[in-house]
Amino acid sequence: MDHASFEEKLERNPLRGMVREYFEVKPLRDILNPGKIDLALHYCSRNGKGTALIHKYFSTGKISAVDPDEALVAISRETLADLPVDIALGSLTALDARDASFDAVFVLGELHNYPEWRDCLGEIARVTKPGGLFFIEELSAESFEYALGRYFRAKTDHQYEAMLRLEEFREAIQAAGFEILRLQKRKPFGLFSYFVMVARLRMTAGGLPTS
């Protein structure tokens, strides 16, 4: 008997790769193509397949990836062995990176899994360079209140009372020091809702990030 969780079974589905590519990563590039990115961070990189798509769709010199799951980090290292990617095991709320390290940070549908998502945003802001970009594809509590999302809610185990909502996430992004450049709500085929967003870390007159 297969005792894998509902989400693990979804990840195995042959259609998952197409969804990840055409509904998660490509829309981010479509709403803002930043050109050359010297050093990017894939925050919460899971099995590395999303990281490979970031490399495919964005002009990245090097990608650093971090995930808190040791088994997934091992899988990522095999998946990404031939790409200019470093994968590390680490805490999402205490990144092992210096302040202002990355030209761009990518999150692909992971922050909604963490009740401490505000702390995650603070760490992302800390390690982003002033003027650096933050690319986000994300679900929100509203995603699980709409159409197919109601079915997913019945099958998955999330702390829905603590899950980010779009408007409060928008406010938290700005409070963390980011300026929202693009925000697009998406409902493919009317079946599910999510959003894609690109933000830039603001700078003061002296060239430092705002607090």
Residue 203: the pLDDT is 84
Q: What is the CATH number of domain 13-61+71-101+116-139+150-186?
A: 3.40.50.150
Sheet holding 85-89, edge to edge: 85-89, 59-67, 36-43, 102-108, 128-138, 194-201, 178-186
Tens digits of residue pLDDT in 99-142? 999 999 999 999 999 999 999 999 999 999 999 999 999 999 99
Tens digits of residue pLDDT in 159-197? 999 999 999 999 999 999 999 999 999 999 999 999 999
Average pLDDT, the chain: 93
What is the value of pTM for the model shown?
A: 0.93
